[in-house]
Amino acid sequence: MKTVLVGVTGCVAIYKTCEIIRGFQKAGLRAKVVMTESATHFINPTLFRALTREPVAVGLFDDRPGDPIHHISLSKEADLFLIAPCTANVIAKLANGIADDLLTTTALATTAPIVIAPAMNVNMYQNVATQQNMATLRERGVAFVDADSGYLACGDMGKGRLADPEVIVKAVLDMLAVKRDLVGKRVLITAGPTVEPIDAVRFISNPSSGKTGFALAEAARDRGAHVTLVTGPVALEDPEGVETLRVKTACEMFEAVDARFDESDIAVFTAAVSDFRPAEPASRKLKKGTDDESLKTIALVENPDILATMASRKRTGQVVVGFAAETDDVEANARKKLESKKADYIVANYVGDGKAFGTEENEVMLVSSDSSEKLPLMAKGDMAQALLDRIN
């Protein structure tokens, strides 16, 4: 998840920053706030802390155990530093390299892109000093979201009003190359393993970590989709902004997917579902070396085929994607699965030799009825974006 550091300065337009932060959160971005002392006279930092669920930085010498150089740690967290609203005073400081508070020292220290959304009186905005300071910053690569014209808080008319929050949010998303091509779409994703009980303590499962499915859920959320994630038992936290349903067995996963499949536009089945389950799991722990012969021979029955069942009833325009874990003849085996399951795509994982399961990276082949494409080894988050680029 990308982080936008939001700098807030002392200006009446500060109330619009709340809308800007919500816009970032809806886009799947993490927002963290740094305020000038003047800004705290307009809004208490507690409001921003409540909105972002993050500590709000104000004082250059705030007592932060374990973080003695706060402006440096803040500058390194940011993928982009937005200052909105930004007063003429702060613009002047930044243009002249003055760093006398936490916000300006952080701005001087960061290597992330900086975006400034100015807000001030029309005469202050048009003053030659302000215009020259903004020109200086533009020459240094600082981006501006220009102020709007209209009725100002002071009663004057003219240019100087903070740009509309939606315009500011869009400018930041564009700079971060955040795609929003799934707005209005519903995406259903399965992830992780399933667990099939043998008795009260033993089960049949596999080493799937769920990381690929979770990465896809976060990527689809960031691109504007309403995402439902159905996951087996994994050691991962529920992704923020994603409807997450936790199940254990293949039958439970089938029921959860069955109830939600028809309303989805894209369904991606990454879960490593157990093919079989014990026919009669015991409610107690079976003891070896006793008369519990059932431990020696476990009768199995086949689990429901979630991918094949859902793909068989997909409607026109609905996209179904399955995953396949393969150790050899990857493309051939993926194509067989594509045909037998009636899916639109099969993503074939190269597994074995420490690949795929539980790792932070993956190497896959995307197979459709008329094409195949091998994606190189990459981080699962990057792979999720690459797959969505091709699937959408």
Domain match, 247 and 144 both: no
Q: Are residues 162 and 14 in the same domain?
A: yes
Q: Domain boundary residue among 141, 175, 209?
A: 175
Tell me which of 175, 195, 224 is where a domain ends. Answer: 175
- Residue 180 placed within a domain: no
Domain span at residue 351 reads 186-391
The pLDDT, as a whole number, for residue 60 is 72
Identify which of 217, 216, 211, 210 has the alpha carbon closest to the alpha carbon of residue 194.
210
Number of domains in the chain: 2
pLDDT of residue 63: 59
| Side-chain half-sphere exposure of 216, counting CA atoms within 13 A | 32
Look at residue 223 in the predicted model and tell me its pLDDT.
87
Does residue 92 form part of some domain?
yes
Q: How far is CA 306 from CA 68, 278, 342, 366, in A?
A: 52, 18, 12, 20
Q: State the pLDDT at residue 353.
A: 66
CB atoms within 10 A of CB 196: 23
Whether residues 290 and 169 fall in one domain: no
Instruction: Please indicate, yes or no, if residue 135 is contained in any of the structural domains.
Output: yes
Q: What pLDDT is recorded for position 282?
A: 87
Q: Tell whether 233 and 136 lie within a shared domain.
A: no
**Catalytic-role residue among 11, 18, 86, 154:** 154
For residues 4 and 24, the answer to whether their CB atoms sit within 8 Å is: yes
Mark whether 353 and 231 lie in a shared domain.
yes
154 is catalytic: yes
Assess whether 350 and 211 both reside in one domain.
Answer: yes
- Whether residues 146 and 31 share a domain: the answer is yes
What does the alpha-carbon distance between residue 304 and residue 271 come to, in Å, rounded to a whole number?
Answer: 13
Full pLDDT tens readout for the chain, 392 residues: 789 999 999 999 999 999 999 999 888 889 999 999 999 999 999 999 999 999 998 977 665 545 556 668 888 889 999 999 999 999 999 999 999 999 999 999 999 999 999 999 999 999 999 999 999 999 999 999 999 888 777 777 888 899 999 999 999 998 988 788 898 999 999 999 999 999 999 999 999 999 999 999 999 988 889 999 999 999 999 988 899 999 999 999 999 999 999 999 999 999 999 999 999 898 888 887 765 666 778 899 999 999 999 999 999 999 999 999 888 888 999 999 999 999 999 999 877 665 656 678 888 999 999 999 999 988 898 899 999 999 88
Residue 37's pLDDT is 94
Q: Are both 157 and 192 inside the same structural domain?
A: no
191 and 171 both lie in a single domain:
no
Sign of CA dihedral 333, 335, 339, 345: positive
Q: Tell me what pLDDT residue 362 has.
A: 84
- Contact between 106 and 5 under an 8 Å Cβ cutoff? The reply is yes
Asked if 5 and 77 touch (Cβ cutoff 8 Å), the reply is yes
Burial 98-114 (b: 16+ CB within 10 A, else e): ebebbbbbbbebbebbb
**Same domain for 154 and 8?**
yes
CATH number of the domain that 289 lies in? 3.40.50.10300
Give the E-state strand segments of 205-296 in sequence order. Answer: 226-231, 243-246, 266-269, 276-278
Q: Which 3 state secondary structure label does DSSP give 157?
A: strand
Note the maximum CA span of the chain: 93
CA 37 – CA 10 distance, rounded (Å):
8
pLDDT of 308? 97
